[in-house]
Structure 1
Amino acid sequence: MNPENNWTLLIGIVLSLYAAAIIFFVVRGARKAKDMKDYAVGNINFSPWMVGLSLAASMTSAASFIINPGFIALYGVSGFISLGVILPLAAFVSLVILTKSFAKVGVQFNAKTMAEWMGNRFGSKAYRFFFAVMGLLLISFIVLINVGITNVISKALQVEPFYVLLGITVFVFGYMMFGGANSLMYTNSMQVFFKLAVALIMLGSGFYLFKDGFAPFMQKLHDIDPNLTGLSNKESPLFRDFFEIVICQIIVGMAIVCQPHIITKSLMLKSPSQVNKFLLSAIVFMIFFFLVVAVGFYARIFFPDLTVDGKKMKMDEIISNYVVARFSVFVGMIVVIGLVSAGQATLESLIQSISSSVTLDILEPIFGEGVTKNSLLTNKFVIIVLAAVSFLISWQQIVNPTLSVGIFAQMGVYGYFGAAFVPIIFGTFVKNVKASTVFTASVVAIIVHFGIFYFKLTPYMKGTVGNPGVSVAIAICCSVLVAVVLHIFNKNKAVA
C-alpha cells in the first residue's frame, strides 16, 4: 500500500476513535443537564484541578498551536517575544489577580453568563443586553479555530477543505446542542492531555537544530532572512517596535482574561478557597501550550522559502504542512489529534458561552416566558444558526484571508475584551460604580478600537494589514481613562 494512503487511512481511523470518545463524554455530561443553568455553568461537583485543566484547554486554542506559530515563521524572534513571552506573562499575572477576586464577587450575583453578571453587578438590563450583543464578536474566534482545524485535517487526510469544514461544523456544533458545561469538563480534561503530549512532541521536533548550539541555530534563521533574528522586524505589520511588541501585548495579555469562556470558569468552583489549586493546574499546562509558537522557527528552517511543491504557502497553512512533512505516521497521528484537540477545546467553550448568552440574555428578555419555558430547545436552534454563520465566514477566510485569519479573529475578540475590561475590573475591585460609567467606557472602547483600525488612524494601521493589538491597547487606555474620570465626577457630585 502507498505510504501516503497508509497515513490517510490511519489518521482517519484515529480521528474516528477520537470522535467516538468525545461523543461518549458529551452524553455522560448531558444526562445531568436539566435546564439552561446546568448547560451554562454545570451542576456536577468537579474538583478545582479538573476545572483548571478545562481552563487550560479552552484558553489556549488553535491560535497557540496552529495560527500563531505561522507568525513566528514569517517574522521571527520579534514575534516570539511578543506572542510567546510577553503575552503569556501578562495573561498569567492578570489571571491570578483577577480570578481570585472575581471568584468571590462572582458568586454573589448568581450569574450564568458574562452578560448576566454585568447586568446584575451594575443593576442594568440594558447593559446586560448590550454585552450579550457584544458577545457575538467572539464568532470571529470560532472562525479562527474552524480554519485552523480544517487546515490540519484537510492536509492530513488529503481531502478538500470545504468538506472538512462542513464535517467539523456538523460534528462539533451538533454535539454541543446537547453537551454543555458538564460535558466540557470531561472533554476538556481529555483534550488537555492530548495537547500536552503534542506540545512536547512539537517543541522536541526541532531539538536536532540545536546540536551545534544556539548560535548556529540563529545563524540558520539569519541566513534565510536577517529580519528573523532581530528584536524587532520593520518588515512585519505586527512586530515593528517596542510599543507593538511589548506595551501593546502587556495590555492585551491583561485584558485577554476578560473573555467569557475564561473568566467565568471560576464560577464553576464550589468555593473561592479552591482558586489556588484551580490556577496552579491551569498555568502549569498553559506554560507549555504558549511555548508551542516556537515551532514556527523550526517550520521556517524546514521550509526556508515557505513553499510546498513549488507553491507558496498561506501563513495559516505553514504548521499544517510542517506536521505532515516532519513526522512519521505514528507520531503524526498523535500530533494531528492534539492539534484538533487544541482547537476543539476552545471551540466547545465558545459555542457553549455564546449560545447560552444569546438564549438567556437576548432572546429571553425579548420573547419572555416562551423562551424561559423552552430554553434548552431554543438554545439548540441558536447553535444551528451559529453553525451556519460561522461556516460561511470560515469558508470565506480559507479562500480569501488577509494575511491570516488571526488578524480577522483579533479584530473581533479584541473588540469584545476591550469593551469588557473596565466593567470587569471596576465590578471586581471598585465599589459604588454607576452603570452609566462602565456603559460609557465600553462604548468608548468599541468606537476607538474599530475606528482606529478601519479608518487607519496612527502609522501602525498604514499598509495592507493593520495591527489590532495597537488599536485595542489604545482603546483600553481610553476606556479606563473615561471610566476613572466619570467615577470621580459621580463621587464628587454625590458628596456635593
Structure 2
Amino acid sequence: MSTLPTWTIILIVLMLASYFVGVSYIGKRGAPYSKTMAGFATARGKVSPWLVGASFAATFASANLYLGLPGLAYQYGISVLWYTLGSFGTAWLGLLLFAKTFWKYQKEKGGVSTLPEWLGKRYNSKTLQILVSILLLFNIYYIVGQNVGLATIFETIIGIPYEWGVVAGVMITIIYIGLGGAFAQIITDAFQGILMSVTSVLIIVSLFWTIGGGFQVFDRMFDQLAAIHPALVSTFSAEGPYDSVPTVLAIQFLMISFVLMPHLLNKILAIETEKELRPFVISSGVHLFFISYLPVFGGFAARILVPGLTEADQALPAYLIEAFPPFIVALMIVGVISAVLSSTDSLYLSITSSIGNDIYLPLVQKTRTKASTINHDHRAVTIAKFSLLLIGATSLYLSINRPESLAMLIQFSFSAIISGVFGPVLLGYFWRKGNQTGAIVSVLTGSLSYLAFTQFNLLPNLYIALFVSSALGFVSMIGASYLSTAAGTKVKVFGKHSA
C-alpha cells in the first residue's frame, strides 16, 4: 500500500538497521547490571528518574495509542476521545495516587523486583506470588497486539509481508532485552518516549496544512467528518465500543487501574530514592500528555484524506504519508515503530522476570539447604533469559493470524490481569485487615469472572466486563478476609501504609 519513493523506503530500512545496532549496544552496556535478578528486572538506581518517567509514558502508549486508537478513530469518530481523556487525565491521577505508597512499601521490605513479589510480601504468601505471576502470562496476548502493530507498519510503509514483519519485531526485541534486561529496556524506552512526543506534536501541527482552516482547524475537521457520516461526530458511538455513559465511566476506571499493570509498576521499582519520585512523576505526566492525546487526531484526518482503507489500523501510517514529505515520514515512522517496541520490551521483561523471580525462586526456597552451593539468583536470571526465547516464539506463533482489532485484543489481555490484581493491590494500600486468603480469592474471582463474562458473551463490552469483574474481586477479598479471620485462619495482618 506504500506510496513512498523507493529511496525513502531504503532510508527507513537503514534507520531501522541503525536503531537495531544502537539498542543492541545499549543492551550490551546493560549486561553488567543484569547478572542478578533485581538488576535484570529493575536496574534500580542505574537510570535518571527523568528518563524512567519518559520510559513509563512510552511503555504506557504502546501500539494501542499509536495504531489501535487512531484506527478506532478512523472507524468511529470523536467518541474515541473518551479513551484519550482517560489515557492522560485519570491514568496520571492513578500514578499520583499509587506511586509513592507502592515505592515506600517495597523499600520497607528491602526492595522487590516485581509486582507478584510485592503482593507476596504484602500478604506473606508465596502461593499468591506464584498465582499472580501465572496470571501475567495473559500479557502474551498484549505482546501479540504489539507484534501485529509493528508488522502492520512494515506492511503499510515498507511493503514487507506481514509475516516477515512479525518475525523482525520479535527478533529485535528479545535480543536487546536478553542482553541488557531492565537497563536496556528503560534507556531505549526513554529515548523512544521523547521521539514519540515529538512525533505527536508534529501530527497536530500538520493538521494546519492537511485540513486547513487556521485556528478553526478542529471545527473544520469535525465538519468534514460530519459530512462523511453524522455518527463520526456523535458523543457516543452506537455501533462501536464507546456507546454509553456506563462505558465511558468504565474506561476511566480502566485507565486509573491500568497503572497497576506489572510492566508499568516495575518502572517505579527502578527508582532508588524517595526524592527521585517527583521528577519521575513529572516526566511521566509531560510525556503522557503528548503521547496520549495527540496521535488520535491523525486517525480523524485519515478518515477525511485517505478513505477506504482495508485495515483501520493502517490509518496513522497512511496519514503520515499524505501529510509529510518523504524524508520527514521516514523519521516519523521510526517514531511510530518506537511506540510499539517501547511496550513490547517492557512486556517481555515483565513476564520473564516474573518467571525467574516469582515462580522459580519461591519454589526452590522450600527445597534448598544452607549447604547448597547453587547460586539460585543467578540461575533465576538464566531461566528468565531462556524463557524470553520461549515467550518470543509463542507470541510469534499467535501473531501470524492478524486479529480483527488491534486495540480490542490489547484491551482484553490487560483487562484480564487488572481484574485479578485490582483488589489485592488497592486494598493492600489502604486496608489493614486484608490477608492472604482474601487476596488469593480476589485474584481468582476477578480474573475468572472476567474470562467468563467475555468468553461466554455475558458482558460483551470489554470495558463493562472489566469494571464488574474488578468490583467482584474487590468485594470478594473483603468477604474472604473477614470469613477466614472469623474461622480462625492464621493470617498475618499488616499495618496500615499511608501514601
Could you tell me how far apart the structure 1 residues matched to 2:106 and 2:277 are? 13
C-alpha displacement of 1:252: 0.4
Residue 391 of structure 1 aligns to a residue whose secondary structure is helix
Give the counterpart of 2:385 among 367, 380, 387: 380
Residues 96-149 of structure 1: per-residue CA shift (max 9 Å, x gap)? 011121111122232211111111111111111100100000111111111111
Give the counterpart of 2:474 among 477, 480, 488: 480
Report what 2:71 is aligned to.
70
**Which residue identity lines up with residue 319 of structure 2 in the other structure?**
Y
Could you tell me how far apart the structure 1 residues matched to 2:477 and 2:399 are? 36
Tell me the TM-score normalized by structure 2: 0.90
**Which residue identity lines up with residue 78 of structure 1 in the other structure?**
S
Q: Which moved more, 1:31-40 or 1:248-257?
A: 31-40
Could you tell me how far apart the structure 2 residues matched to 1:43 and 1:104 are? 14
Could you tell me how far apart the structure 1 residues matched to 2:76 and 2:97 are? 32
Report what 2:442 is aligned to.
441
**Which residue identity lines up with residue 274 of structure 1 in the other structure?**
E
Conserved 8 A contact 1:11-1:156: no
Report what 1:393 is aligned to.
398
Give the counterpart of 1:324 among 315, 321, 324: 321
C-alpha displacement of 1:487: 4.1
The count of residues paired between Structure 1 and Structure 2 equals 474
Conserved 8 A contact 2:90-2:256: yes
Conserved 8 A contact 2:424-2:477: no
Structure 2 residue ranges without an equivalent (≥5)? 369-373, 489-499
C-alpha displacement of 1:352: 1.0
Q: Which moved more, 1:21-30 or 1:36-45?
A: 36-45
Give the counterpart of 1:280 among 266, 274, 282: 282
- Percentage of matched positions with identical amino acids: 22
**Which residue identity lines up with residue 153 of structure 1 in the other structure?**
F
C-alpha displacement of 1:488: 4.9
Equivalence map 1:297-316=2 (5 Å) = 297-304=300-307, 306-307=308-309, 313-316=310-313
* Residue 89 of structure 1 pairs with residue 94 of structure 2: no
Could you tell me how far apart the structure 2 residues matched to 1:488 and 1:144 are? 40
Tell me the TM-score normalized by structure 1: 0.91
Residue 180 of structure 2 aligns to a residue whose secondary structure is coil
Could you tell me how far apart the structure 2 residues matched to 1:439 and 1:7 are? 54
Could you tell me how far apart the structure 2 residues matched to 1:171 and 1:215 are? 42
Conserved 8 A contact 1:153-1:336: no
Conserved 8 A contact 2:24-2:179: no
Could you tell me how far apart the structure 2 residues matched to 1:215 and 1:277 are? 36
Report what 2:494 is aligned to.
none
* Residue 345 of structure 1 pairs with residue 339 of structure 2: no
Could you tell me how far apart the structure 1 residues matched to 2:237 and 2:42 are? 43
Residues 440-483 of structure 1: per-residue CA shift (max 9 Å, x gap)? 1121111221111111114xx2xxxxx21111111112222222
**Which residue identity lines up with residue 303 of structure 2 in the other structure?**
R
Report what 2:128 is aligned to.
127
Conserved 8 A contact 1:269-1:275: yes
Residue 45 of structure 1 aligns to a residue whose secondary structure is coil
CA gap 1:270/1:373 in 2 versus in 1, 3 angstroms: closer
Residue 34 of structure 2 aligns to a residue whose secondary structure is coil
Residues 226-279 of structure 1: per-residue CA shift (max 9 Å, x gap)? 10001011122x1111111x2111210121011111112112111223222210
Report what 1:234 is aligned to.
238
Residue 178 of structure 1 aligns to a residue whose secondary structure is helix
C-alpha displacement of 1:43: 4.6
Equivalence map 1:66-215=2 (5 Å) = 66-80=67-81, 82-109=82-109, 110-208=111-209, 209-211=211-213, 213=216, 214-215=218-219
CA gap 1:372/1:105 in 2 versus in 1, 3 angstroms: closer
CA gap 1:43/1:288 in 2 versus in 1, 3 angstroms: closer
Report what 1:418 is aligned to.
419
Could you tell me how far apart the structure 2 residues matched to 1:184 and 1:170 are? 15
Structure 1 residue ranges without an equivalent (≥5)? 308-312, 462-466
Report what 1:271 is aligned to.
273
Q: Which moved more, 1:485-494 or 1:144-153?
A: 485-494
Residues 416-447 of structure 1: per-residue CA shift (max 9 Å, x gap)? 01111111111122224211112111211112
Report what 2:23 is aligned to.
22
Residues 51-101 of structure 1: per-residue CA shift (max 9 Å, x gap)? 212211211111111111111111111112x21113432211111011121
Could you tell me how far apart the structure 2 residues matched to 1:347 and 1:365 are? 26
Could you tell me how far apart the structure 2 residues matched to 1:151 and 1:325 are? 17
**Which residue identity lines up with residue 469 of structure 2 in the other structure?**
A
